[in-house]
């Protein structure tokens, strides 16, 4: 199976490595043609404003929305969660396909980064996450299920074919959420 990773900016190589480790064929997606050839998509962490500018410049916004509407499984981590959210505090949504509100960099600056284990519904064992300038969920809309919380705040959510996390599991090779994504195929 071909697992796409949006490779415009951010930690796409780390996601590709995790996908390869669990048996998928990672494909770096940079345009609509590349998107058309994958079965699912991971939108990595990085800088959401830069990612949005590049997605618009490469005419990827409409194709990504269309593939999501047709049921393609998508997993967004950190900035990936921000660009999938319908509401972004102090910013404009990019894809706007998941009925959640997010606040960018809500867990603090780079120096405030931390790692934590979270218990995720549907995944056996704990999932280790790296929180780097992570977004915080401000509200959860209709049809969105909270799969994990950290200190009372949602950090992993699911809505149909969409999966998001506030943290980066890929930076330490954590594959539980990637397996969860592939199980949606």
Q: What is the pLDDT along the chain (185 residues), one digit of tens a residue?
A: 999 999 999 999 999 999 999 999 999 999 999 999 999 999 999 999 999 999 999 999 999 999 999 999 999 999 999 999 999 998 899 999 999 999 997 776 777 788 999 999 999 999 999 999 899 999 999 999 999 999 999 999 999 999 999 999 999 999 999 999 999 99
Residue by residue, DSSP assigns 7-70 as -SSSSHHHHHHHHHHTT-EEEEE-SHHHHHT-SEEEE--S-HHHHHHHHHHTT-HHHHHHHHHT
* Size of the chain in residues: 185
Known catalytic residue at 151: no
- Per the annotation, the verdict on 40 as an active-site residue is no
pTM, two decimals, is: 0.97
The residue from 14, 78, 174, 178 that is catalytic is 78
Pairing of strands 98-103, 136-140: antiparallel
In which domain, by residue range, is 72 found?
2-182
Looking up residue 133, the CATH number of its domain turns out to be: 3.40.50.880
Catalytic residue among 103, 158, 170, 174: 170
Is 170 among the residues known to form the active site? yes
How many structural domains does the chain have? 1
Q: How far apart are CA 173 and CA 160, in angstroms?
A: 25
């Amino acid at each position: 199976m071909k697992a796409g990773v949006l490779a415009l900016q951010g930690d796409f190589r780390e996601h590709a490595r995790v996908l390869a480790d669990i048996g998928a064929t990672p494909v770096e997606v940079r345009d609509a043609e590349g998107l058309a050839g994958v079965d699912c998509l991971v939108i990595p962490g990085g800088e959401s404003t830069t990612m949005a500018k590049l997605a618009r410049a490469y005419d990827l916004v409409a194709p990504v929305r269309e593939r999501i509407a047709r049921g393609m499984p998508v997993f967004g981590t950190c900035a990936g969660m921000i660009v999938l959210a319908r509401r972004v505090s102090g910013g404009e949504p990019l894809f706007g396909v998941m009925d959640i509100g997010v606040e960018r960099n809500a867990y603090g600056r780079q120096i405030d980064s931390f790692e934590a284990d979270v218990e995720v519904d549907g995944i056996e064992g704990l999932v280790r996450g790296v929180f780097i300038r992570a977004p915080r969920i401000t509200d959860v809309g209709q049809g969105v299920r909270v799969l994990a919380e950290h200190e009372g705040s949602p950090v992993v959510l699911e809505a149909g074919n969409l999966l998001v996390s506030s943290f980066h599991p890929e930076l330490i090779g954590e594959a539980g959420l990637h397996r969860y994504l592939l199980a949606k195929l």
